[in-house]
Chain A
Amino acid sequence: MEPPLQTTLALVIGVVTAIASLLAISISLGFLMRRKAKNFEEWLVGHRDIGPVVTGFALISSYLSGWAMYGNAGLGYTFGWAGSWLIGTVCIMGIALCLVMGYRMRRYVQLGARTVPEMLKVRFESKMLQALAGLAMIILLIVYSVGQYKAMATVWTITTATPFHWSLIITAVLVLVYVAVGGYAGTQWVSCFQGILLTAVGWTLGIASLLWAGGPAKIEEMLKTQTFTPPGGASTNIPIDGYIIPPLTTKDMAYPWADWIGVTASIFMFLLMATGFPHNIARFLGTRKISKKEYWAMLLITIVGGLTPLWIGVVGFAGRAVFGDKLLTEKYKPMYGDAVGALVSISVGGIPLAALFTASVFAASVSTLAGMALIMATNITRDLLHNLKPDLPSKALLWLTRLMLIPFIAIPLWWTMTATPPVLSVFMAGSAVAQAGIFFFVVGVSMYWRRATKWGAASAIIYGLSLTILHPNAYGQYVGLHHWGFWALLLIFGSAATYFLISLLTKPVPKEKLEKLFPRTSAV
């Protein structure tokens, strides 16, 4: 079957209406909650009275970015079953670890922390570490933002027939509008609403596409007839009905599915990255005290929401079974297989589902972009400037934060325009490995391991960032590091080794200072 290429006026109206409605609801919720915030600090963490349902869905919303909500379809479409290693079939493991470990962030909020780097300042009494963590986050989140741009611009291009570059500019404008009118304020409530929407739409589209393609058996049968075609390249004779795509060239080794070492590395990435993502763990900054029963309720929410990326992957398999490899030709450049999500949504559910799906991708990518731009802006104002000049007035900081949003929206925009990644999720995985390898230990483990020191944490950040530059598709290829699996394992376990060894070799934080962070009632 040919992918639907005709964009109708009704579809454009449907898409614009859905996005406008989502924006209106998000902004209304944002304003409602912002009115309650008296100052910048309250704006960042609210009243610390957020319950398990809102926290659970907010965590899901921040986890489901353009990668999970849109890019996963591209992975399933382009790489078949092997794409599963980045679709994140085991992502619930990592989300559960974040759920278990992240709750302790509350303790740091009580001690004055309002951002993740501030938590590190409190934990290690080190402004240097706060600034370094802020800087690392900026670098990694810029990379992560590129994928969000591609997701939103692709779905906009497919549904409205706007040229891709203009879609990118429209995405940037939407982010600016979203932030400017307060869509990011009242984060937990807006995120909760979006988490529910993403889960509902993801499940609906996944199940509908499964039926549309003729059922699971038919899809599996069709995948057996397909061979791997690199985006924009010639078809190979490598089947895509297995969980490994053996590399033909050195360049093909830059993927997790090249062999089982890469697969192992991708499993570790998913185990650690939900905790390592600063925007995920920050969700616990505003959480209230939660009972055991409520904890189980929160887990149930994250399980239901955590299955959404798998349903989006199903959309990709269904698309490949029906469309074949048509989307991997030059005709679809620079979107390629990433276009499949939008095309299947149009084919499966017509205007209503396509409009809802576009609004969901908007929620996943634009709100994540807005959130990341805000994190990066606060990294500059609160973690760097406020660090240097603590007497800066709160109002000036707020305005500076708003001003700093512009470069952090513009830099990834420019990057996506000049070097659009062929498969957005593969690109974003590079940043995810680094965030997992660095921040799982520096933030997550440091909340539980008394012996951690600022030097251990700082060394892990520096090591992790250095290895990030050596990604096989960046500078790694010039030093012989072509293998994604080796690179990812070197980054994750190297960061861990650096963190633990340097911590053990350096002077620990005095016991009396640790008392407030690790009270005697604490079980660990």
Chain B
Amino acid sequence: MRKGVLLTVAIMILCVLLVPLIAYYIGGWFAYWSHAALAIIFALAAVLLKTRWYWEED
């Protein structure tokens, strides 16, 4: 598998893992909005995967 794909997937997994960790260690507003920021990074990575490496034409 391409390096770029692996790196992008690793970033996506990291984003998910960081969610409970930030809630546990930091909490409050920071955790609340950083979850949203992590979700946005995850979303960008997911669309990057599709448009760059797995684009499909009809």
Tell me which of B38, B44, B55 contacts A299 (CB under 8 A).
Answer: B44
- Whether the pair A242, B27 counts as a contact (CB closer than 8 A) is yes
Highest count of chain A CB atoms <10 Å: which of B24, B43, B51, B56: B43
A523 partner residues in chain B, CB cutoff 8 A: 53-56
A263 at the interface (CB under 8 A from B): yes
- Whether the pair B57, A521 counts as a contact (CB closer than 8 A) is yes
- Whether the pair A299, B43 counts as a contact (CB closer than 8 A) is yes
A295 partner residues in chain B, CB cutoff 8 A: 47, 50-51
With known contacts A216-B29, A522-B56, A92–B42 Cβ distance under 8 A: yes
B58 partner residues in chain A, CB cutoff 8 A: 106-107, 110, 289
Tell me which of A89, A99, A307 contacts B47 (CB under 8 A).
Answer: A99
- Whether the pair A264, B20 counts as a contact (CB closer than 8 A) is yes
The docked-state distance in angstroms from the alpha carbon of A84 to that of B16 is: 15
A449 at the interface (CB under 8 A from B): no
- Whether the pair B56, A92 counts as a contact (CB closer than 8 A) is no
- Whether the pair B39, A100 counts as a contact (CB closer than 8 A) is no
Sort chain B's interface into a size bin: 20 to 34
- Whether the pair B53, A93 counts as a contact (CB closer than 8 A) is no
B14 at the interface (CB under 8 A from A): no
Closest to A242 in B: B27
Q: Closest approach, in angstroms, between the C-beta of B31 and any C-beta of chain A? A: 7
A90 at the interface (CB under 8 A from B): yes
Closest to A292 in B: B51
The docked-state distance in angstroms from the alpha carbon of A110 to that of B58 is: 10
- Whether the pair B36, A310 counts as a contact (CB closer than 8 A) is yes
Provide the A489-524 mask, 1 if CB < 8 A to any CB of B, else 0.
000000000000000000000000000000001111
Tell me which of B20, B46, B55 contacts A263 (CB under 8 A).
Answer: B20
Closest to B45 in A: A96
The docked-state distance in angstroms from the alpha carbon of A258 to that of B43 is: 28
- Whether the pair B39, A89 counts as a contact (CB closer than 8 A) is yes
- Whether the pair A93, B31 counts as a contact (CB closer than 8 A) is no
Q: Closest approach, in angstroms, between the C-beta of B4 and any C-beta of chain A? A: 14
B40 partner residues in chain A, CB cutoff 8 A: 92, 303
B11 at the interface (CB under 8 A from A): no
B19 at the interface (CB under 8 A from A): yes
Sort chain A's interface into a size bin: 35 or more
Highest count of chain B CB atoms <10 Å: which of A96, A104, A220, A295: A96
- Whether the pair A296, B46 counts as a contact (CB closer than 8 A) is no
Q: Closest approach, in angstroms, between the C-beta of B58 and any C-beta of chain A? A: 6
- Whether the pair B47, A260 counts as a contact (CB closer than 8 A) is no
Q: Closest approach, in angstroms, between the C-beta of B24 and any C-beta of chain A? A: 7
Residues 251-270 of A contacting B (Cβ, < 8 Å) = 260, 263-264, 267
Q: Closest approach, in angstroms, between the C-beta of B45 and any C-beta of chain A? A: 8
B29 partner residues in chain A, CB cutoff 8 A: 216, 220
A439 at the interface (CB under 8 A from B): no
Q: Closest approach, in angstroms, between the C-beta of B12 and any C-beta of chain A? A: 8
The docked-state distance in angstroms from the alpha carbon of A92 to that of B56 is: 23
Tell me which of A81, A104, A296 contacts B28 (CB under 8 A).
Answer: A81
Closest to B54 in A: A523
A89 partner residues in chain B, CB cutoff 8 A: 19, 32, 35-36, 39
With known contacts A81-B31, A89-B39, A523-B53, A243–B47 Cβ distance under 8 A: no
- Whether the pair B27, A95 counts as a contact (CB closer than 8 A) is no
- Whether the pair B43, A96 counts as a contact (CB closer than 8 A) is yes
A92 partner residues in chain B, CB cutoff 8 A: 36, 39-40, 42-43
B49 at the interface (CB under 8 A from A): yes
B46 partner residues in chain A, CB cutoff 8 A: 93, 96-97, 99-100
A302 at the interface (CB under 8 A from B): yes
B54 partner residues in chain A, CB cutoff 8 A: 523-524
A271 at the interface (CB under 8 A from B): yes
B9 at the interface (CB under 8 A from A): no
With known contacts A81-B27, A107-B58, A93–B16 Cβ distance under 8 A: yes
The docked-state distance in angstroms from the alpha carbon of A312 to that of B22 is: 21
Closest to A314 in B: B32
The docked-state distance in angstroms from the alpha carbon of A97 to that of B49 is: 11
Tell me which of B33, B38, B50 contacts A100 (CB under 8 A).
Answer: B50
- Whether the pair B50, A90 counts as a contact (CB closer than 8 A) is no
With known contacts A106-B58, A263-B20, A521-B56, A90–B47 Cβ distance under 8 A: no
Q: Closest approach, in angstroms, between the C-beta of B35 and any C-beta of chain A? A: 4
B20 partner residues in chain A, CB cutoff 8 A: 260, 263-264, 267
Tell me which of A100, A110, A243 contacts B27 (CB under 8 A).
Answer: A243
- Whether the pair B24, A93 counts as a contact (CB closer than 8 A) is no
Q: Closest approach, in angstroms, between the C-beta of A121 and any C-beta of chain B? A: 21
The docked-state distance in angstroms from the alpha carbon of A521 to that of B44 is: 24
Q: What 4 pairs between A and B have smallest CB-CB spacing?
A: A96-B43, A89-B35, A92-B39, A243-B23
Residues of B within 8 A of A (CB): 15-16, 19-20, 23-24, 27-29, 31-33, 35-36, 38-40, 42-44, 46-47, 49-51, 53-58
Q: Can you list 7 pairs linking A and B with CB atoms under 8 Å apart?
A: A89-B36, A90-B16, A93-B15, A220-B29, A271-B16, A299-B47, A523-B55
Residues of A within 8 A of B (CB): 81, 84, 89-93, 95-97, 99-100, 104, 106-107, 110, 216, 220, 241-243, 260, 263-264, 267, 271, 289, 292, 295-296, 299, 302-303, 306-307, 310, 313, 521-524
